[in-house]
Amino acid sequence: MQPIKKSSKLNHASYDILGIIPERARQMEAQGERIIKLNIGNPAAFGFTASDEILQGMIHNLTAASGYCEPQGLLSARQAIAQYARKKNISHVNLEDIYIGNGVSELILLATQALLEDDDEVLVPAPDYPLWTAAVALAGGVARHYICDEQADWLPDLADIKARISNRTRAIVIINPNNPTGALYPDDLLQGIIEIARQNNLVIFADEIYDKILYDAAQHTSIASLADDVLFVTFNGVSKSYRAAGFRAGWMILSGNTAHAHDYIHGINMLTSMRLCANVPAQFGIQTALNGQQSIHALTMPTGRLKQQRDLAWKLLTDIPGISCFKPKSALYLFPRLDPNYYPVANDEQFALDLLLEEKVLIVQGSGFNWVQPDHFRIVFLPNSDDLTEAIGRIAQFLERYRIR
């Protein structure tokens, strides 16, 4: 019998955040081992659960939520999202420009499927949130990775972006605030990206899911607020900002030059209808979330738990010889660099596996974020201070042995 094989469309898609090594960690846990898991940005798993107001809003509406709603999403939720768009200075957003999905993840897949022909190209950052690269590949396209420069606070290199444009380039992805680096983009850089999109007729996909997780009084600008002659698709949701990743509720907003994108919008509408609608109970949480004060933002204030954990994790990591790390301005992650003179890592997946097996700490290797050199890894700083201290202490012990191998 012929073996049943997976589609070759998956050849360029990977998702190491929940890949082979996390699966190995799961098996070790099943055998009774205690693993400190620093691999995934799931706030609720670390005690950052959704607020009572959001839960009550959902519970109260459960009966009404038992049927399908409109494909683009509940009207009340979209009204709240439209108001949020206005607060972020994104102009002319109507209810029909808003699409609610089962998390931003579903909408990333949908927006790329609706746009790309086979071999069309999309500019994606390196490092990236790997679903973007995978989604482009699944849609038949090719991700062209542009460099974010660690020496320049991980900001995208505009010259590198320009150099990667071809006559097949259809869109550019920007992740701001950034996962995995914690970078936050200044307005002049955003203007530079808009100018490139303008000159090359590119759609701008702006993933802004961490826009409320900002440290040290940093401010976030939605790129879509800076122009109206380019097509923007802005992604956001309740997973991180409202500590409700399990609800699977996210949205995307079309703005800017929608007039010249009727055909693309028709495609988006078709795909949106085909999956009927997103999970309705969770949509009832969106209005309560966006109209309330329950976001994660308070925890990023100077005495907030998240800010303190960021500072602690950053200090402990950068005290290890041969490790350097940009101090994140946003989001939930650290993306440290291993100096190859100290730690000559040849294969960063093997490095992450050895760390798991020897020290029971689960990280994600840099290549999982489409970072080519085997010299970075990512940790989340959501665990409490004791667990972070223990985990980074174990990483330090592992590195000390690694250095003299």
- Pick 38 or 316: Cβ nearer ligand PLP: 38
CA 250 – CA 66 distance, rounded (Å): 19
Amino acid of residue 236 = N
Let me know: does 140 contact 119? Beta carbons within 8 Å: yes
Backbone phi, psi, residue 115, to 5°: -95, -40
Window contacting ligand PLP (CB under 6 A); options: 75-83, 103-111, 340-348, 382-390 = 103-111
In angstroms, give the least distance from the CB of 162 to ligand PLP: 24
> Which residue among 35, 85, 245, 392 contacts ligand PLP (CB under 6 A)?
245
In angstroms, give the least distance from the CB of 332 to ligand PLP: 8
Let me know: does 309 contact 381? Beta carbons within 8 Å: yes
Window contacting ligand PLP (CB under 6 A); options: 101-109, 270-278, 304-312, 386-394 = 101-109
Q: Is 104 in the site for ligand PLP (CB under 6 A)?
A: yes
- Pick 251 or 343: Cβ nearer ligand PLP: 251
Q: Is 105 in the site for ligand PLP (CB under 6 A)?
A: yes
Q: How many CA atoms lie within 13 A of 234 on its CB side?
A: 30
> Residue holding tokens 């590198």?
160
In angstroms, give the least distance from the CB of 56 to ligand PLP: 22
Q: Is 250 in the site for ligand PLP (CB under 6 A)?
A: yes
- Pick 14 or 200: Cβ nearer ligand PLP: 14
Please report, for residues 55, 170, 282, the alpha-carbon distance to residue 62 in angstroms, rounded to integers and kept in the order given: 11, 41, 9
Taking residues 175 to 214 in sequence order and writing x for each that binds ligand PLP by CB under 6 A, - otherwise, the string is x---x---------------------------x-x-----
Looking at residue 380, the DSSP 8-state letter turns out to be E
- H-helix or E-strand containing 57? helix 52-60
In angstroms, give the least distance from the CB of 370 to ligand PLP: 13
Tokens, residue 336: 């440290």
Amino acid of residue 356 = L
CA 249 – CA 239 distance, rounded (Å): 7
CA 262 – CA 137 distance, rounded (Å): 24
- Pick 57 or 180: Cβ nearer ligand PLP: 180
- Pick 245 or 399: Cβ nearer ligand PLP: 245
- Pick 15 or 68: Cβ nearer ligand PLP: 15
Please report, for residues 10, 57, 125, 369, the alpha-carbon distance to residue 13 in angstroms, rounded to integers and kept in the order given: 5, 37, 15, 11
Window contacting ligand PLP (CB under 6 A); options: 49-57, 102-110, 342-350, 397-405 = 102-110
> Which residue among 222, 225, 239, 255 contacts ligand PLP (CB under 6 A)?
239
- Pick 181 or 255: Cβ nearer ligand PLP: 181
> Residue holding tokens 């898991």?
37
In angstroms, give the least distance from the CB of 119 to ligand PLP: 25
Total residues at interface with ligand PLP (CB under 6 A): 13
- Applying the rule CB under 6 A, the residues between 128 and 147 that interact with ligand PLP are 129
In angstroms, give the least distance from the CB of 7 to ligand PLP: 22
- Pick 284 or 343: Cβ nearer ligand PLP: 284
- H-helix or E-strand containing 163? helix 158-163
- Pick 189 or 316: Cβ nearer ligand PLP: 189
In angstroms, give the least distance from the CB of 175 to ligand PLP: 5
Q: Where in 187-283 does DSSP place strands (E)?
A: 203-207, 231-237, 250-256
Backbone phi, psi, residue 276, to 5°: 65, -65
Let me know: does 215 contact 177? Beta carbons within 8 Å: no
- Pick 343 or 365: Cβ nearer ligand PLP: 365
In angstroms, give the least distance from the CB of 250 to ligand PLP: 4
CA 211 – CA 98 distance, rounded (Å): 18
- Applying the rule CB under 6 A, the residues between 8 and 67 that interact with ligand PLP are 41
> Which residue among 43, 73, 103, 125 contacts ligand PLP (CB under 6 A)?
103
Q: Where in 322-374 does DSSP place strands (E)?
A: 323-324, 333-334, 337-338, 361-362, 364-365
Starting at the earlier edge strand, list the strands of the sheet with 250-256: 98-101, 250-256, 231-237, 203-207, 169-175, 121-126, 142-149, 155-156
Binding site residues, ligand PLP, CB under 6 A: 41, 103-105, 129, 175, 179, 207, 209, 237, 239, 245, 250
